[in-house]
Structure 1
Amino acid sequence: MSQKTELEILLAVVDHGSFSAAARALGYTPSAVGKRVHQLEQRLNVPLLVRSTRRMTLTEAGRRYAEEARDLIARLTALEEDISDDASTLRGTVRLTSSAALGRRFVVPLVIEFMEHHPEV
């Protein structure tokens, strides 16, 4: 599981207030959510949540981590969308060959419409 997914799981737990509610929101089992949060805490070597039978609260380290994680995920999501938009934008040069009559009647109107939709081509 990626670090981004671990962060998203932790934030879901924080936002929903429990492993069960976070699991329902994410489509995981509560035990899978608990396991991922535990693995994250083990990797960081610091508790992020204080759990009791009735409630769960963030430790100071957990609060700082969740705050920064939320910012990181927002920035990563924006970057991925930006990169994806760049990749889907058509650009470059297109060369066409046709007879003059066919070009004037059919190709030129299509090329003009295409250029309006894809100005970087």
Structure 2
Amino acid sequence: MDRIEAMRAFVAVVNEGSFTRAADRLETSPQLVSKYVSQLETHLGVRLLNRTTRRLNLTEAGTQYHQRARQVLTDIDDMEHQLGDLQTQAQGLLRISAPVSFAIRHLAPLLSEFQKAHPAVGIDLQLNDRKVDIVEEGFDIALRIGHLKSSSLIAKRLAPVRLVLCASPDYLKQHGTPRRPEELGHHRYLQYSYMDIGPGHPLQKWLQAGGQESEGSMVSNNGDVLVEAAIAGAGIALQPTFIAGNAIREGKLKVILPEYEPQPMALYAVYAHRQLLASKVRGFIDFVDGFFGEAPYWDQF
């Protein structure tokens, strides 16, 4: 049995959902694909697929083996590409997951410049504020913002991300400008659903209360909405400067309590831990490193 070919056959069956479509993908016969999968199951001593006349279902062992086999095949392909002409130029489809507001405001110029430098790379950009599983969901890279916890993934720090308390001049004129965190209690809080600045910070009590002592507070899972609401005079927001920076620069928002600004978070590029990276992933990581710098343009206000 050619174990690599058997592995390719099994992964193709899972990805395509049938032996016939897998055979078409591999340009071989369904009988040979079925033979490869059966030989693989015999070699491993476990059933990988439950077969019925209508559908295929992965067993628990099959699910685990599929994840590892897909990774092994990718590594083999990467290694072969490195040794050949294909690796001299980054190419292929690069799947990226990125936070919604950051991507809309700041990714287009970066991706445009990247594709000028690497014209053979296509981009599939998916915007989502949830933490995606890049391996399970088939992403090459995820851009994430926060204080990252240790994991099996590789995280490349790209830029600092500042959080500032801000409100419109009209709101502050009408309701007063807080000078200490204790004075925030009766102000309207425009709350981002996933905000977490860590325990012990002077602002944490107010953030956890969600402005409940004041009427008219607002909660949203999108920072752009909250910044626009703050500009309109709806209350005080704690938002990253990559969203609020323009409004602050233009005088539509004022930073308050700057001495209580939370510790900066960071923007990271996160990717799977592999000894051999695909050229498209390596090319993107190398390109984005230092693109925004330690003093990003959105902090110029």
The TM-score bracket by the shorter chain reads: 0.5 to 0.7
Instruction: Considering Cα pairs closer than 8 Å and 6+ residues apart, tell me whether 1 or 2 has the greater RCO.
Output: 2
Which residue of the partner structure matches residue 111 of structure 1? Answer: none
How far, CA to CA, are the matches of 1:75 and 1:65 in structure 2? 15
Deviations 1:62-99 (A, max 9, x none): 010010011111111111111235xx9xxxxxxxxxxx
Residue matched to 2:44: 44
Tell me which residue corresponds to 1:22: 22
Q: 1:83 aligns to what? A: 83
Q: Which residue of 2 aligns with 1:62?
A: 62
User: Which structure's residues are more often strand, by fraction?
Assistant: 2
User: How far 1:2 moved relative to its partner?
Assistant: 2.7
TM-score by structure 2 length?
0.27
Report the counterpart of residue 71 of structure 2 in structure 1: 71
Name the SS of the counterpart of 1:53 in structure 2: coil
Moved more, 75-84 or 41-50: 75-84
Q: 2:5, 2:36 within 8 Å by CA — same for their partners in 1? A: no
The count of residues paired between Structure 1 and Structure 2 equals: 86
The equivalent residue for 2:160 is none
Q: Partner letter of residue 84 of structure 2? A: S
Percent identity between the aligned chains?
Answer: 41
TM-score w.r.t. structure 1 length? Answer: 0.66
Q: Which amino acid aligns with 2:35?
A: K
Output the CA distance in 1 between the equivalents of 2:22 and 2:83: 29
Structure 1 segments of 4+ aligned residues over 2 angstroms from their partners? none
AA paired with 1:50?
N
Say what the alpha-carbon RMSD is for the aligned residues: 1.6
User: Counterpart in 1 of 2:6?
Assistant: 6
Amino acid at match of 2:33: V
Q: Which runs of 5+ in 2 are unaligned?
A: 89-301
Q: Which runs of 5+ in 1 are unaligned?
A: 89-121
CA–CA distance in structure 1, aligned partners of residues 26 and 65 of structure 2:
20
| Counterpart in the other structure of 2:233 | none
1:31 is the counterpart of 2:14: no
